Amino acid sequence: MQSVGIIDYGLANIRSVVNALECFHVELVVAERGDQLASVDKIILPGVGSFDKGMSGLRERGHVEALDELVFDGGKPFLGICLGLQFLFEGSEEGVEAGLGLFPGNCLRFPAGPGAPKVPHMGWSDVEAVKKSSLLFSELVPPLTFYFVHSFFAPYSSETAEFTAAVCDYGLRYTAALERDNVFAVQFHPEKSQLAGMKMLETFLEKI
């Protein structure tokens, strides 16, 4: 049985992710410290809360060093969810803390003003898979709809295009999923996205 480490940095509500993963034949390890991740086969980083407090929690609990060693250098499969995707960038308009820096650029806040969509982006939205070689979306058949809750987004730009597996349109087109070698991340919540989300989690657990 493979083991999956779920990163707990003291702020995220990880219960919904745990509940979803309990549907699969895996051993779950809720890692409150980075050193608890060394023995697991795969790592999931759920993200709820603010960018700065989240990054501070990751650093204080030793998760940043563990991710550098085990995932970014060591090749262990990783899945970031929601804020867990945004942490992978250099930073965010939401705060001043440095991100993990695996992807270039900063996450931005959705524009406000007359005619702009309501912020936060909350609810079901269509997602378009744009990477033919995507592993995360390989078992899914369009049209694809997932559940989102967020106020900041990762830009879909020339810097991120080669790593972007899927996009979403919400007043503008932004990156909804990333894939880079062993690192996968989604802005939406697969654990709250019913059958499509559960299929994606299954793909991450069994195919990657």
The beta strands (E) that lie in 53-150 are given as: 78-82, 89-92, 103-109, 121-129, 144-150
The set of residues, in sequence order, having a beta carbon less than 8 Å from that of 25 and lying 6+ positions away, is 1
The catalytic residue among 63, 82, 94, 107 is: 82
The catalytic residue among 63, 121, 150, 189 is: 189
**Residue 189 appears among annotated catalytic residues:** yes
Containing 179, the helix (H) or strand (E) segment is: strand 173-180
The CA distances from residue 19 to 93, 173, 190, 192, in Å, are 31, 31, 12, 10
The catalytic residue among 63, 94, 107, 191 is: 191
**Residue 82 appears among annotated catalytic residues:** yes
- Please tell me what DSSP assigns to residue 104: E
Active site residues: 82, 189, 191
